[in-house]
Amino acid sequence: MDTNNHHDEHNDGHIAEAHHPSYGVNILVWIGLLSLTAVTVAVAGINLGSLALTVALIIATVKSLFVVNFFMHVKFDNKVVKIFIGVCMLIFVIVLILTFFDLTFRF
Amino acid sequence: MSNNVNTAVEEVQEIHMHRDDFGSKMGMWLFLFTEVLLFGGLFILYAAYRYIYPEAFVVASGELDVFMGGINTVILLTSSLTVVLGIVALQKGNKKLCLSFLWITVFCGIVFLVNKYFEWGAKFHHGIYPKGPALQDMSEGEVMYFGLYYVMTGLHGLHIIVGLAFIGFVMWQIKRNILTADNFQRLENAGLYWHLVDIIWIFLFPLFYLIH
């Protein structure tokens, strides 16, 4: 394995200090998350019909992206973490789609 | 001879000093993926039953208190913020501030659980529990909704308890100076776990409380 490479890249494995820590950005993200929560509650009050679920899921996904990128520091993280997350989500979506193939053709 | 001993001692020290933060982080992420697939399975189950019983899910969700769910969302988001702020504080070498932030997280987690206790209690009071009087009068779809509600919020609540224990353990290590400004990956890992639990709630809230 290319251990040397890893050592160069990640400062002997101690990569957590790679980005500059700051309070401000995180507080801004938190305000954004609270606003999106208010939006999702408000939108639920409007009768959007079949669109309601889609809108709720889009807002929840945007909120999750904020949490993953900033609170979980993935934005500043190694590419490997991002690829892992992508693969994991892909597996989830494939199983979800396959389940619905079964559901829609069975009933 | 003494040279050899010295190198041996250095080697031993090196072994003791060796830390692999990157490996530790990867391990945590791999564990989180198993969590995603665990909850993912339940979300897929939810999607399938909501597809089969769309009206029943709307009716059943009327039993839930949107205000209570909203408050719990705000509480969890805030608890996630204070974990991150705790990490920043520790990175800047401010141990006391870090512990204060983490105490806020623990407090928020406990308040979340207390709210859940009252929510579940109110539902039990209305006869919504397995073999409960209200549940027996409900349609199949509504029974499925409450089954999923109890399993998913219950499993989530269990994760809150585990997350609190994890954060408590990390706080103890920070207090003992085992975790410091340049050795905080374990705090980061506790944070990752806590944020994942937060994300799961971000999806549970609209899917169970906000159906109209």
pLDDT digits (tens, 9 = 90+) for A53-101: 999 999 999 999 999 999 999 999 989 999 999 999 999 999 999 999 9
DSSP, collapsed to helix, strand or coil, labels residue A34 as: helix
Res. B195 pLDDT band, cuts 50 70 90: very high
Q: Would B96 be classed as within a structural domain?
A: yes
Q: Please give the Cα distance from A100 to B48 (Å, whole number).
A: 7
Nearest-Cα distance to chain A for B172, in Å, is 20
Number of domains in chain B: 1
- Does the pTM surpass 0.95? The reply is no
* Residue B156 pLDDT exceeds 60: yes
How many contacts does A have with B, using Cβ atoms within 8 A? Answer: 135
Contacts of B83 (CB under 8 A, 6+ apart): A71, B101, B102, B105, B167, B190, B191, B194, B195
Q: Would B2 be classed as within a structural domain?
A: no
Tens of pLDDT, residue by residue over A1-38, are 344 444 444 444 454 445 677 899 999 999 999 999 99
Q: Are B199 and B38 in contact (CB under 8 A)?
A: no
Question: What's chain B look like in SS3?
Answer: CHHHHHHHHHHHHHHHHCCCHHHHHHHHHHHHHHHHHHHHHHHHHHHHHHHHCHHHHHHHHCCCCHHHHHHHHHHHHHHHHHHHHHHHHHHCCCHHHHHHHHHHHHHHHHHHHHHHHHHHHHHHHCCCCCCCHHHHCCCHHHHHHHHHHHHHHHHHHHHHHHHHHHHHHHHHHHHCCCCECCECHHHHHHHHHHHHHHHHHHHHHHHHHCCC
* The two structure tokens encoding residue A52: 């309601």
The answer for B 124-153 residues in CB contact with A (under 8 A) is: none
pLDDT for residue B44: 96
Nearest one of B37, B28, B2 to B200, comparing CA atoms = B37
C-alpha count within 13 angstroms, C-beta hemisphere, residue B76 = 34
- The sign of the CA dihedral B178, B184, B189, B190 is positive
Q: Does B74 touch chain A (CB under 8 A)?
A: yes
* Residue A105 pLDDT exceeds 80: yes
Nearest CB partner across the interface for A103, out of B48, B185, B195: B48
Q: Are B195 and A85 in contact (CB under 8 A)?
A: no
CB contact under 8 Å between B25 and A15, yes or no, is yes
Res. B17 pLDDT band, cuts 50 70 90: low
Output the domain CATH number for residue B203: 1.20.120.80
Nearest one of B70, B54, B63, B62 to A49, comparing CA atoms = B54
pLDDT for residue B105: 98
Q: Which residue of A has its CA nearest to B80?
A: A71
Q: Would B180 be classed as within a structural domain?
A: yes
How many CB atoms are closer than 10 A to CB B163?
A: 23
Q: Would B5 be classed as within a structural domain?
A: no
Q: Which of A23, A43, A90 to mutate to test the interface with B (most CBs of B within 10 A)?
A: A23
Model ipTM value = 0.87
Tens of pLDDT, residue by residue over B121-148, are 999 999 999 888 898 889 999 999 999 9
pLDDT for residue B19: 85
Residues of B in contact with A36 (CB under 8 A): none
* Residue B164 pLDDT exceeds 60: yes
Domain residue limits at B136: 21-209
DSSP, collapsed to helix, strand or coil, labels residue A77 as: coil
**Share above pLDDT 90 across residues of chain B, in percent, rounded to a whole number:** 84
CB contact under 8 Å between A95 and B185, yes or no, is no
pLDDT for residue A47: 79
Q: Would B167 be classed as within a structural domain?
A: yes
Give the mean model confidence (pLDDT) for residues B42-49: 96
> Within its chain, how far is the Cα of B142 from the centroid?
27
Q: Are B134 and B128 in contact (CB under 8 A)?
A: yes
Q: Would B36 be classed as within a structural domain?
A: yes
Q: Please give the Cα distance from A93 to A29 (Å, whole number).
A: 27
Q: Please give the Cα distance from A35 to B38 (Å, whole number).
A: 29
Q: Does B73 touch chain A (CB under 8 A)?
A: yes
How many CB atoms are closer than 10 A to CB B180?
A: 13
Res. A51 pLDDT band, cuts 50 70 90: confident
Q: Does B88 touch chain A (CB under 8 A)?
A: yes
